[in-house]
């Protein structure tokens, strides 16, 4: 298949989770014999922080303005099997119009921000990247969020077929590494600053750090306001290149996951960091939200504290062997259900329902153990 994607970014993972998702999915699709063309607006923020400027698994078409790239986009759309627009694509509404008015066999929208999208659609019927009136035109509405929100997209907004395509992990990139001295810690957290996440970080990360001053805490992520005051035993990394993420997770006794408020309210919205950390064998500590137990078994594959006291107990009193067993069980779960190869297979299955042309035989690459 030839797949054309219009997405926020694939060349820069700075301050966004879209790039990691698109890289994982397109790398796996490419390995299975498909050709991918990715259109990305050349935004200044990402241009100055590009950690993968030329991905070997897809053709990237950077552009300055939609009007200048439109003839090229039309040629690619008219010659492809699947055209997919992602949430927060800067020219999303215009790109969607082009896709819906084209003869491409499968027209898809990939919502990496479903709770945000649906909230805006409820309020005003539109977002900056998608109009509610465009939704019925897609053959597939693929979503990072599962559960009841998919039925709302179909029943209220007219989606022909709303299906989960959760984030995934590249099992060849994210695996257990030896402890790295630079990232060694008792507890770590990786995430871009978000005001709605900060209270939970204070409760589940900063408060344990204050009460366990002899232990080491490590936080990686950009955009935290300079006025925030951190405990003395919290070390900060402003931005960590994705190539070091697996070593970061492999070097922590525990690693924290905190979910955005909109995702908590929607439920069934796992973050890519959750799967990546688990794939490295990290012992996960996570806030709770509806549907979490459909991805990990609490207490067996993941730790779900009710507050800072529980986190302190994990760090100060839990047996190390049990913490490691929880991390290994979580790793096994992710490698069985949430790898990039699994997502690529799901994508093929979804697309095959609408594409009359048979898919080429997939190349099944060897998976690193």
| For range 83-107, the mean pLDDT | 97
The share of the chain scoring above pLDDT 90, in percent, equals: 85
How many angstroms separate the Cα of 328 from the Cα of each of 250, 275, 278, 279?
12, 13, 8, 9
- Residue 269, pLDDT above cutoff 70: yes
Quick one: pLDDT at residue 272? 86
- Residue 140 bridge partners (DSSP): 108
- Burial of residue 94 (CB within 10 Å: 0-12, 13-18, 19+) is middle
Strand partners, 285: 256, 303
Between CA 24 and CA 365 the distance in angstroms is: 14
Tell me: do 42 and 143 sit in the same domain: yes
DSSP 264-305: HHH-----HHHHHHHHTT--EEE---TTGGGTS-BTTTBB--
- pLDDT tens digits, one per residue of 348-365: 999 998 765 544 444 443
According to the model, what pLDDT value does residue 365 have? 39
* In a shared domain, residues 189 and 157: no
The CATH number assigned to the domain holding 27 equals 3.40.50.2000
Condensed to tens digits (0 to 9), the pLDDT of residues 199-257 reads 999 999 999 999 999 999 999 999 999 999 999 999 999 989 888 999 999 999 999 99
pLDDT (tens digit per residue) in 144-174: 999 999 999 999 999 999 999 999 998 888 9
The total of other beta-carbon atoms located within 10 Å of residue 110's CB is: 25
Judge contact between 132 and 169, C-beta under 8 A.
no
- What average pLDDT does the segment 323-331 reach? 98
- Residue 366 forms part of a structural domain: no
Note the pTM of the prediction, 2 decimals: 0.83
The SS3 call for residue 346 is helix
Distance CA 140, CA 164 (A): 10
Residues 156 and 217 in one domain: no
> Taking residues 1-6, what's their average pLDDT?
97
Choose among 278, 261, 258: nearest CA to 337: 278
Element (H, E) at 348: helix 340-352
333 and 343, same domain (yes or no): no
pLDDT over 70 at 320, yes or no: yes
Tell me the C-alpha distance between 166 and 263, whole Å.
13
Q: Which pLDDT belongs to residue 131? A: 98
Strand partners, 109: 85, 141
The number of beta carbons lying within 10 Å of the beta carbon of residue 210 is: 15
Residue 63 sits in the same domain as residue 152: yes
pLDDT band for position 187 (cuts 50, 70, 90): very high
What was the pLDDT predicted at 366? 36
For residue 368, is pLDDT > 50? no
What is the percent of the chain with per-residue pLDDT over 70, rounded to a whole number? 96
Residues 33 and 160 in one domain: yes
Total number of domains in the chain: 2
Q: What is the mean pLDDT of residues 261-275?
A: 92
- Give the pLDDT of residue 355: 65
Residue 365 falls inside a structural domain: no
In this prediction, residue 200 carries a pLDDT of 97
Asked if residues 272 and 249 have their Cβ atoms less than 8 Å apart, the reply is no
Tens digit of each residue's pLDDT (9 = 90 or more) over 49-93? 788 889 999 999 999 999 999 999 999 999 999 999 999 999 999
174 domain-assigned: no
The Cα 289–Cα 268 span in angstroms is 8
Q: Dihedral of the CA atoms 6, 43, 197, 343 (nearest 10)?
A: 30
* Residue 69 and residue 32 share a domain: yes
Asked if residue 331 and residue 192 are part of one domain, the reply reads yes
């Amino acid at each position: 298949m030839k797949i054309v994607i219009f997405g926020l970014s694939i060349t820069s993972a700075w301050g966004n989770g879209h790039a990691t998702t698109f890289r994982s999915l397109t790398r796996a699709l490419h390995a299975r014999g498909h050709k991918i063309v990715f259109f990305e607006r050349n935004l200044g923020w990402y241009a100055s922080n590009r950690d993968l400027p030329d991905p070997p698994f897809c053709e990237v078409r950077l552009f300055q303005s939609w009007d200048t790239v439109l003839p090229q986009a039309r040629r690619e759309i008219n010659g492809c099997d699947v055209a997919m627009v992602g949430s927060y694509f800067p020219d999303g509404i215009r790109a969607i119009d082009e896709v819906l008015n084209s003869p491409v066999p499968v027209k898809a929208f990939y919502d990496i921000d479903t709770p945000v999208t649906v909230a805006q659609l409820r309020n005003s019927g539109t977002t900056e990247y998608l109009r509610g009136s465009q939704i019925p035109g897609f053959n597939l509405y693929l979503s990072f969020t599962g559960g009841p929100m998919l039925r709302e997209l179909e029943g209220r907004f007219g989606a022909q077929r709303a299906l989960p395509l959760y984030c995934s992990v590249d099992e060849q990139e994210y695996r257990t590494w030896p402890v790295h001295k630079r990232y060694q810690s008792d507890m770590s957290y990786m995430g871009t600053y978000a005001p709605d996440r900060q209270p939970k970080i204070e409760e589940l990360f900063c408060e344990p750090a204050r009460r366990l001053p002899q232990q080491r805490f490590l936080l990686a992520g950009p955009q935290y306001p300079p006025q925030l005051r951190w405990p003395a035993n919290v070390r900060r990394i402003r931005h960590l290149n994705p190539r070091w993420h697996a070593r970061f997770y492999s070097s922590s006794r525990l690693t924290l996951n905190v979910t955005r408020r909109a995702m908590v309210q929607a439920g069934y919205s796992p973050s890519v960091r959750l799967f990546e950390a688990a794939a490295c064998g990290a012992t996960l500590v996570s806030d709770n939200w509806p549907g979490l137990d459909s991805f990990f078994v609490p207490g067996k594959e993941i730790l779900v504290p009710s507050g800072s006291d529980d986190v302190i107990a994990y760090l100060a009193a839990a047996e190390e062997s049990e913490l490691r067993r929880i991390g290994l069980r979580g790793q096994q779960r992710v490698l069985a259900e949430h790898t990039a190869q699994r997502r690529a297979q799901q994508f093929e299955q979804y697309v095959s329902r609408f594409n009359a042309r048979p898919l080429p035989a997939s190349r099944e690459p060897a998976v690193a153990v």
